[in-house]
C-alpha cells in the first residue's frame, strides 16, 4: 500500500470530528469555544486583505464564502458547500464566525464581531455571516 491510501484526511473524518466529537466534548459551550478557537486560528493563519477570506475557506475545506453586501459598518457573507456533508441544521458555525471576526479586526484595527446563522430556502441551505464593526472602538 502506498502512503496516500492512509495519509490523506477525508471529508468524512472531518465531519466525524466536527459534528460528533466536538459537540460531545464541548457540550453547551460549543459555539462560544469554537468562536474563540476561530479567532485563534485567524491569528495563526492571517490573511493580509479581506479579499483573501474566500480562498482561505476553500483551502480549509470550509466551503465557498461569498461577500453579498457591504455597508459602512457591516458586511454580509454567504457560505455554501456543494457536498451533502454541510450539516447546517445541527452544526454551529462559531469557528468560521470567529475566524472572520478576528481577520476583520486585525486588518481594520477596530472591534469586530461576526454571527453565523443557517438559512434554508427552496433551492438550498446556506450559512449567512453578519460581520459588524465599531469604528469608534480602536484595537
Mean of the pLDDT values across residues 100-109?
97
Cβ-contact 102, 113 below 8 angstroms = no
Answer yes or no: is pLDDT of 77 > 90.
yes
10 pLDDT tier (thresholds 50, 70, 90): confident
Mean of the pLDDT values across residues 81-103?
80
* Per-residue pLDDT reduced to its tens digit, 11-61: 788 888 888 899 999 999 999 999 999 999 999 999 999 999 999 999 998
Torsion angle of the four alpha carbons 5, 10, 14, 19, in this order, in degrees rounded to the nearest 10: -110
Tell me the C-alpha distance between 104 and 101, whole Å: 5
DSSP SS3 for 63 = coil
DSSP SS3 for 86 = coil
44 φ, ψ (degrees, to nearest 5): -85, -25
- pTM over the 0.85 mark: yes
Return the C-alpha cell found at 106: 486585525
Amino acid at each position: 500500500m502506498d502512503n496516500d491510501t492512509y495519509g490523506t484526511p477525508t471529508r468524512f473524518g472531518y465531519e466525524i470530528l466536527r459534528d460528533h466529537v466536538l459537540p460531545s466534548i464541548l457540550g453547551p459551550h460549543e459555539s462560544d469555544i469554537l468562536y474563540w478557537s476561530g479567532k485563534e486560528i485567524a491569528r495563526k493563519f492571517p490573511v493580509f486583505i479581506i479579499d483573501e477570506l474566500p480562498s482561505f475557506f476553500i483551502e480549509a475545506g470550509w466551503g465557498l464564502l461569498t461577500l453579498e453586501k457591504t455597508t459602512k459598518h457591516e458586511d454580509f457573507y454567504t457560505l455554501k458547500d456543494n457536498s451533502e456533508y454541510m450539516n447546517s441544521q445541527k452544526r454551529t458555525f462559531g469557528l468560521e464566525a470567529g475566524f472572520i471576526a478576528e481577520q476583520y479586526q486585525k486588518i481594520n484595527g477596530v472591534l469586530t464581531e461576526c454571527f453565523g446563522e443557517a438559512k434554508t430556502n427552496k433551492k438550498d441551505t446556506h450559512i449567512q455571516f453578519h460581520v459588524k464593526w465599531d469604528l469608534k472602538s480602536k484595537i
